Every structure is written in C-alpha cells, then in structure tokens.
Amino acid sequence: MDAANPFETPRTFLAHRGEYLLGFAATTVLGVLHWHEIRWLPAVALFLHIDLIGYIPGAIAFRRSGDGHIPKIFYYLYNTMHSLLTQGLVVIAWCLIAGPEWALLAVPFHLFGDRGLFGNFLKPLNLPFEPHADPAYDRLLTALGYPPRSAATPALAPTATADVH
C-alpha cells in the first residue's frame, strides 16, 4: 500500500495487523504489570465508550436493516470513535482534567485489539457495516496475481450498499 495505491493485499494486511498485535501485547503486559494500580471503573468506561457510541448502534441498525443499507451516520460514529486521533484526544483531555493513570491503557488496548486481533480498521462508507466479502476485492487480487479468497463471509448484493457512498 502506498499513497498512489491505498489498498492492502492479504500479506500487507497481515503485516498491518501484526503491528497492532504488538501494541496490543504491550498494553496487555503493562496492564498485567500495573494491575493493582488500575482504577477499574474508569478503565471499563474508557474501554466500553468506544463501542457503546461507535459500534453497537451501527451493528443494531445493520442487523435490523435486512439489506445491509444503513445511514452514513453509523459509519461516521464508528470511524470517529475508533480513530486513534479521537481517542488520543480523549486520553489527552483525561490527563489534563484527571491526570495520567493506568486506566487509560484501556483505550489503546481496545483499539489495538480491534485492529490486531479482529482485523477491524476504519469502515469505508461504500461497504457493508459488518464484514462481508466484496467480489470487487477478489477481482483486484486476481488482477494483482493473488488467488481469490475463499468466501469466509458471504457477499451482499451490490444494491445493498449502492446508495451508502
């Protein structure tokens, strides 16, 4: 992936996830080493606020939609709440207001886990909110000399997200 070709091949995607797995491992080790210094109520709140605002509303809307079409606001909420920039500002604001503390590890733990463990990065507006194989990506892989993926998740009909651009 580069500035002229902003997509990932299966190998670069694995490498990208690996970088986040290292961050996830680091936050896990720090959490274990400082287990008794973590204020758990703030840590749980910091961990959960990302998905309570950014994922759960869109996941509910997606499951209720029937055809995979949901309003763009759910993508914006997800991408805003799962952005390292946004959550970096949350951490900075917390440090300025309440002071630095080990509970803040919950934020990178969440984001690094989403990316490294689950492969969930920011969501493009023209793809389904939940992971579904897109035949266009398989055509791209084939054009680049990669074998097509086995369909781990079913593809949605093209009309399912056609007006979500």
The owner of tokens 């709440």 is 81
pLDDT at 163: 40
pLDDT at 1: 73
Is position 127 within any domain? yes
Is position 60 within any domain? yes
The secondary structure element, H or E, covering residue 52 is: helix 40-54
Is position 5 within any domain? no
Is position 2 within any domain? no
pLDDT at 37: 98
pLDDT at 131: 92
Number of domains, the chain: 1
How far is CA 162 from its chain centroid?
22
Is position 165 within any domain? no
Closest CA to 77 of 55, 60, 93, 94: 55
pLDDT at 104: 98
pLDDT at 24: 98
Is position 3 within any domain? no
Q: Is the pTM of this model over 0.85?
A: yes
Assign 3-state DSSP to the chain and report helix, strand, coil percentages, each to 5: 60, 0, 35
CA 28 to each of CA 24, 42, 102, 113, 141: distance values in angstroms, whole numbers, following the listed order = 6, 17, 12, 10, 34
Is position 58 within any domain? yes
- Cβ pair 82, 50 in contact under 8 A: yes
Digit-by-digit pLDDT tens for the chain (165 residues) are: 788 888 898 999 999 999 999 999 999 999 999 999 999 999 999 999 999 999 999 999 999 999 999 999 999 999 999 999 999 999 999 999 999 999 999 999 999 999 999 999 999 999 999 998 889 988 988 998 888 776 544 444 443 443 443
Is position 1 within any domain? no
Show the tokens assigned to 32.
């274990």
Range of the domain at 117: 10-146+155-160
Show the tokens assigned to 79.
């991408």
pLDDT at 157: 43
